[in-house]
Structure 1
């Protein structure tokens, strides 16, 4: 039987690629998505549909009660989503305090309970400027903690930690992935806004690959 792996799966481009990469490597995947009180659930809808098509066991866990503890982020509070590139200082308002440590802790607990040895998540170099919990030093510390936090050591796997969004898309396209099955925009409207940092980075990745994003934009 193939080795089990939990994949933190938001429904976005990066985790979509990570999920399919884990499957391609032969893992029996257990995608895990979270409602942590984010301002829209559109990514989770995309995630559910992908998992249904892949016929894999998908868990969506409602931890939205923690929203009251994680104030100050434009992704969870009634604060306008900033427009502009991730390199801009205004994008720091999209940081959700301690989000990845919380999600990884829950995913590791799930992995232990099902006998999985690995937890995958989609940190990448494009996030390093803004998100401390996507940086190599954070991943190193989490790997060390999760190796000793239980009787069963769990490995935190970040296959694209040192790659850009452009690199991730290039890799996924070579795998034949359909990125119309992923949602990136921080706004949950009918079409992607094209102006938030997430949209701009996604559009840049498609442009650098000489392609048009299959999602519709406002």
Structure 2
């Protein structure tokens, strides 16, 4: 049986990856990060999703507030943009080095456990424009981790990014077909319940549900206009 360490943020994408890995029959453990993020409510969602599937969830603590430079790890306001502007530039929700740090820690934990596969729910289609979500980045990290770990030298180290070329709507359709518990997830960069409905992550999530022809099961403080119009049409 193939073993995999799934990075689980408690969000929509990582939950879909977990459902996908289990459907493929992988022996799965999950890893979440408490990194000083303002939206640390995602740790509760990660635990709920892991419990839903009955898989182990390890929480690794690291303080990226010491790095700063992001509205997710500081007191600066979370940047809000119109949906049409998302992806045009790197917003202040970008956390410098986050995926590089996460993957390095994950590789260390995986190596100790004899696991040569890390799975992550990054996406390069409907995303906020982060440079560490691009396919070229993950290919480079896979090469680096294969070179820099014992298990990588012996077996080759794999970073699997199954959602990277899917739109948010395609991700939601996939997860829904697998019974992913989206009602347990969180996506809001503000870390709110109900979710703010205005940050990049909320808007991309809501547009994905709209384009998938489904209704998001989460509660929101407010909806962007495109989603309000969608609901007015009686969908779903």
Give the TM-score normalised by the residue count of structure 2.
Answer: 0.87
Q: Secondary structure at the match of 2:92?
A: helix
Q: Does 1:217 align with 2:215?
A: no
Rounded Cα–Cα distance in structure 2 between residues aligned with 1:128 and 1:216: 21
Q: CA deviation at 1:177?
A: 2.0
Rounded Cα–Cα distance in structure 1 between residues aligned with 2:133 and 2:124: 8
Q: Which moved more, 1:198-207 or 1:172-181?
A: 172-181
| Residue 118 (structure 1) aligns with | 117
Q: Which moved more, 1:121-130 or 1:51-60?
A: 121-130
Q: CA deviation at 1:189?
A: 2.0
Rounded Cα–Cα distance in structure 1 between residues aligned with 2:127 and 2:176: 23
Q: Which moved more, 1:125-134 or 1:201-210?
A: 125-134
Q: Does 1:87 align with 2:84?
A: no
Q: Contact 1:146/1:156 (CA < 8 Å) preserved in 2?
A: no
Q: Secondary structure at the match of 1:126?
A: coil
Unaligned ranges ≥5, structure 1? none
Q: CA deviation at 1:114?
A: 0.4
Q: Does 1:44 align with 2:47?
A: no
RMSD: 1.4
Q: Does 1:200 align with 2:198?
A: no
| Residue 172 (structure 2) aligns with | 169
**Alignment length, in residue pairs?**
214
Q: CA deviation at 1:40?
A: 2.6
Matches within 5 A, 1:110-189: 110-126=109-125, 130-153=129-152, 154-189=157-192
- Write out per-residue CA displacement over residues 127-152 of structure 1, whole angstroms, 9 at most, x where no aligned residue: 66611101011011011111111121
Q: Contact 2:39/2:188 (CA < 8 Å) preserved in 1?
A: no
Rounded Cα–Cα distance in structure 2 between residues aligned with 1:152 and 1:127: 33
Give the counterpart of 1:77 among 55, 74, 79.
Answer: 74
Q: Secondary structure at the match of 2:151?
A: coil
Please say which structure displays the higher CA radius of gyration: 2
Q: CA deviation at 1:42?
A: 0.9
Give the TM-score normalised by the residue count of structure 1.
Answer: 0.94
Rounded Cα–Cα distance in structure 1 between residues aligned with 2:188 and 2:125: 15
